[in-house]
Each structure stands twice: as structure tokens, then as C-alpha cells.
Amino acid sequence: MSSNPVLDINGDTPQRLHQALALSGHTKAAGYAITNGRFVLYAYPRPGMIPFPAPTPLDDLVPLIMAWLATAPYPPEFHHDGDNTKGWRCARGQWGRAEGSDEHGTFVSVRPEWIMYGK
């Protein structure tokens, strides 16, 4: 994998979240942090993260992230000619770091986002 993979996917199902996390190139996470309204995953231990008891595979991360999203604050709902559902946005910026974090060791972040469905 290159040194600067970029990832930016949204959705509203656990299955799609699993697929988005799989595209990160990581199969497990060492820990997480809630930063700037984002659930940030870490590839290896770093100061300030909350460590998992053991490296945690994607299959176990998805229910944890979905449970967090169920209680996380969402931005104001979009008004348009259609419907919205509560969803998420999974992203990683330049140099393989989680969106919203300049910290080494992060590999992806998930934040609440409205998913729009037009008529």
C-alpha cells in the first residue's frame, strides 16, 4: 500500500461500514479515541488512546462503532426533497492518518453523518 492512501465513504448499514473499514488495509485495531466528534481507530498503542484488551478484529469493531453512533450527536439534518437517515462517514486523509487527526498510529475515523435519499 502507498504511503498516502485516502479513504472517504459514507453509509448507514453495519455491512457497508465493515466494507469501508476493510478498505483501510487494517484487519485489527489496538485501541480508539473519541476526538472532535469522531471515533478514531489506532493501529498500534499511542498515548491518549483507549486500548482494547487485545487487538480487535473488524467483525468486533463494527458493533462497537454502531453502538457509539446510536448515541452520538448528529449535525443538523439536511432539508431537501427526500428523506434522511442517520448514518456515518468513514475517512482517512493523507499519509494514512484518520480524518480529523494528525496523530501517528491512527488509520481511520468514523463520524455521524446524515445519509440523503432523494425521491
Q: pLDDT tens across 36-86, in order?
A: 999 999 999 999 899 999 999 999 999 999 999 999 999 988 788 788 999
Predicted structure pTM score: 0.89
Q: Where are the alpha helices (DSSP H) in the chain?
A: 14-22, 58-71
Residues of 17-29 as b/e, b for ≥16 C-beta within 10 angstroms? bbebbeebebeeb
Identify the three-state secondary structure at position 18: helix
Q: What are 7-22's pLDDT values in tens digits?
A: 899 999 999 999 999 9
Which residue is associated with the grid cell 427526500? 82
Positive or negative CA dihedral for 21, 24, 29, 35? Answer: negative
